[in-house]
Amino acid sequence: MELSIAEENYLKALFHLTIEQKNSKAGTNQLAEYLGVSPASANAMLKRLREKELVKYERYGKLELSASGSKIAIDMIRRHRLWESFLYTHLNFGWDEIHEVAEQLEHIHSAKLISQLESFLGFPEYDPHGDAIPKADGKYKPAIKKTLASMPLGSKVRIVAVKDSSVAFLRYLNSLGLMLSSEIELKERREFDQSIQIRYEGKEVNVSQKFAENVYVSG
């Protein structure tokens, strides 16, 4: 079955809204909002996708991907994250620049292209944002992620991923001199607003609770 780029993007959006942030029962409006289209457009597309048996959905009901729909979405995510890895490790792209270009590259299907790219990159398990890269068979281990906000004072941690991967947030990280695998020490937590004083590369910086909840760390 030959899918359009629009159809593919809807499937990936549905994957993120249902399976990925688990047990959330997404509706037409959320989907439309997520993709920046009108609810009417999303509704029309849902009918087309149901016709192709990629999504399970009945009038006024909740949205769900079919098995084949979700396989397609996982393949897209695989391509997306492999390209992000390539851009980051070989083409000098910044952490905050890769997503946008990968949004385009992910729509190129050639199986040989992707398997060769994967091998060229040395079969990476995670992309530059710390997200797991699905294998060709669709299997992948979702990394166990703890937020910076959840760590005890005094602990030394390493950034492994971000929850909010918006350009705005990634740029903010960059401007602080933080990036994937930066080492951070938690110095102090201010009870007043739950902001946290962190130390890294000699610097001490205060970050908000919201910030700390959007940074995933290990260790």
Give me the residues that bind Mn ion (CB under 5 A), please. 9, 99, 103
Please report how close the Cβ of residue 92 comes to its own copies at its closest, in angstroms.
Answer: 6
Given 19, 34, 41, 126, the residue binding DNA (CB under 7 A): 41
Nearest to 215 by CA among 153, 128, 149, 127: 149
Q: How many residues bind DNA (CB under 7 A)?
A: 26
Given 41, 56, 66, 113, the residue binding its own copies (CB under 8 A): 113
Please report how close the Cβ of residue 1 comes to DNA at its closest, in angstroms.
Answer: 11
Given 46, 77, 160, 212, the residue binding DNA (CB under 7 A): 46
Handedness of CA 147, 136, 13, 180 (dihedral sign): positive
99 binds, among its own copies, DNA, Mn ion, none (CB under 5 to 8 A by kind): Mn ion
Q: Which is nearer to its own copies, 121 or 143 (CB)?
A: 121
Site for its own copies contains 4 (CB under 8 A) = no
Q: Which is nearer to its own copies, 104 or 150 (CB)?
A: 104
39 binds, among Mn ion, DNA, its own copies, none (CB under 5 to 8 A by kind): DNA
Catalog residues that contact DNA under the rule CB under 7 A: 4-7, 27-30, 35-41, 43-48, 57, 59-62
Q: Which residues bind its own copies (CB under 8 A)?
A: 87, 90-93, 97, 100-101, 104-105, 107-108, 110, 112-113, 116-117, 120
